[in-house]
């Protein structure tokens, strides 16, 4: 540790203004502050600060993703790691490049985006597509809007939409069948060329044809699907952690899942064609993963309480409607992006109502 401190102290002058590598200062600062807590002191009241910072905030999300990662590694094999590595490498490069050009700090938010992105892709997707997708997502979804904190859309979802439109076949046909007991695919590198591993149908796709997967399989995650969204149990584990640590807003989660379940229950009794029951719908597809990890992203969701309720309801209802009333099999991605679009308007409405109330305050 002492050696590391000395190393940073020696290197600092080279990265400072006028130094040899002064353009790379964001990279240096990010590395230094990764290892050592920043040295900044408070200058004005309040002289003490809460220990929570954005680094911790983001690492809590990553910790919450660990169960999901573990299950997906078990089900889909080492390929998952390769996808994450590509996502981090390419996305990180875009992030660093923009930080250098803007002369801003490198934001931790990318560590979450870079991990979430491969988790919402089909596990058999070619790796170069993962790279293209994450580059597009970070570039267009985030950096063009001004970087972390200023983006309108969830960058991971922007990347996925791009892939979905650019490579529709690859995005809908590369589902892997999860490995079986006891080792799963944990020692395998299964890809779309692996025989007997590929399928073209997820439980939601099959349900449209009238075949319903077992509810228990959905809960545990022994079904084909996007890398991280198959196991409801693992998602719930991480999701509950996010709610307990207050990183995810409980309002959004309750509103999304509540409105989704209500609509599913209604459709279950109303629709002429038989559809799976609401609890099945909740466990299938990306609704749980999307709700806990994507919809609750604080930057792209509304900031005020009532707007969060409305935002959640819009997402929940949209998912149900896309699933049953359109030709699409799954609608979580579009629903959340729609929520992202309306989030600023919802905020605007609550804020204007609140300002009206504040106007009369003495």
Partner 1 sequence: MKLCGGYDIKMAGRPAVEIESPVEPKELFLPRFSCRFRFSELCIGDGQHVRRGQVLARDPGNHGVPLLAPRDGTAHLDLEKEHIVLRGLSANPPEALETPEAPAHISRELGSVGMKRYKLLTLGAWQYMFTAHNGALPDPFGSPQAVLVSTLRLDPFLARGDIQMKTMLSNFTRGLEQLQSLLEYQPIYLVLPKVATAFAEQVREAVRGYAYIKPVQVPLRYPFDHFKILAKALGLSHDDEHPTWALRVGGILAMDRSLTMSLPCDTKVISIGGSGAIAPTHLTVMPGYPIKELLSARIAAGPVRIINGGALTGQAIGPEQLGIDVECAGLTLLSEHVNREFLGFVRPGSDRRSYSRCFLSALRRPMPERMTTAVRGERRPCVACGFCEEVCPVGIMPHLLHKLIYQNDLDAVERARLDLCIACGLCSFVCPSKIALGEEFRQTAETIRQEHQN
Residues that bind partner 1 (CB under 8 A): 1, 5, 33-57, 59-60, 105, 107-109, 147-150, 244-247, 249, 298-299, 301, 303-305, 351, 354-355, 358-359, 361-362
The minimum distance between CB 146 and partner 1, in angstroms, equals 8
Q: Looking at beta carbons only, is 44 or 193 nearer to partner 1? A: 44
Element (H, E) at 352: helix 332-359
Cα diameter, the chain: 73
Q: Looking at beta carbons only, is 150 or 266 nearer to partner 1? A: 150
DSSP SS3 for 302: coil
Residue 6: count of CB within 10 angstroms of its CB: 10
| Structure token digits, residue 136 | 């597009």
Q: Looking at beta carbons only, is 52 or 271 nearer to partner 1? A: 52
The minimum distance between CB 343 and partner 1, in angstroms, equals 10
* CA distance linking residue 134 with residue 166, whole number of Å: 13
- Is-contact 176 76, C-beta < 8 A? yes
* CA distance linking residue 161 with residue 3, whole number of Å: 46
Q: Looking at beta carbons only, is 38 or 210 nearer to partner 1? A: 38
The minimum distance between CB 138 and partner 1, in angstroms, equals 16
Q: Looking at beta carbons only, is 17 or 50 nearer to partner 1? A: 50
Q: What are phi and psi of 234, to 5 degrees?
A: -65, -40
The minimum distance between CB 81 and partner 1, in angstroms, equals 20
With helix as H, strand as E and coil as C, how does 197-208 read? CEECCCHHHHHH
The minimum distance between CB 206 and partner 1, in angstroms, equals 39
């Amino acid at each position: 540790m002492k050696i590391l401190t000395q190393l940073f102290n020696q290197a600092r002058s080279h990265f400072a203004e006028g130094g040899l590598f002064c353009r790379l200062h964001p990279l240096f600062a990010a590395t230094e502050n990764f290892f050592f807590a920043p040295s900044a002191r408070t200058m004005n009241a309040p002289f003490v600060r809460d220990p929570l910072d954005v680094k911790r905030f983001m690492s809590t999300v990553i910790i919450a993703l660990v169960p999901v990662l573990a299950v997906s590694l078990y089900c889909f094999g080492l390929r998952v790691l390769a996808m994450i590595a590509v996502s981090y490498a390419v996305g990180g490069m875009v992030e660093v490049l923009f930080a250098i050009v803007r002369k801003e700090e490198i934001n931790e938010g990318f560590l979450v985006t870079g991990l979430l992105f491969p988790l919402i892709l089909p596990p058999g997707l070619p790796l170069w597509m993962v790279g293209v997708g994450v580059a597009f997502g970070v570039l267009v979804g985030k950096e063009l809007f001004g970087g972390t904190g200023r983006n309108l859309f969830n960058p991971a979802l922007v990347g996925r939409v791009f892939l979905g439109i650019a490579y529709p076949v690859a995005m809908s046909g590369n589902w892997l069948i999860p490995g079986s007991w006891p080792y799963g695919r944990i020692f395998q590198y299964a890809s779309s060329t692996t025989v007997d591993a590929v399928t073209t149908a997820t439980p939601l796709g099959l349900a449209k044809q009238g075949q319903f997967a077992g509810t228990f399989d959905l809960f545990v995650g022994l079904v084909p699907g996007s890398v991280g969204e198959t196991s409801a149990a693992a998602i719930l584990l991480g999701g509950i952690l996010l709610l307990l640590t207050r990183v995810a807003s409980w309002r959004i989660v309750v509103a999304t899942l509540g409105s989704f379940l209500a609509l599913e229950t209604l459709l279950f009794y109303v629709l002429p064609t038989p559809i799976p029951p609401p609890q099945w719908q909740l466990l299938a597809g990306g609704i749980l993963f999307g709700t806990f990890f994507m919809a609750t992203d604080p930057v792209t969701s509304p900031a005020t309480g009532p707007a969060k309720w409305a935002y959640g309801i819009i997402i929940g209802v949209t998912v149900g409607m896309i699933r049953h009333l359109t030709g699409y099999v799954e609608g979580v991605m579009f629903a959340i992006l729609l929520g992202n679009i309306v989030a600023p308007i919802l905020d605007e409405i609550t804020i204007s109502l609140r300002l009206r109330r504040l106007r009369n305050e003495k």
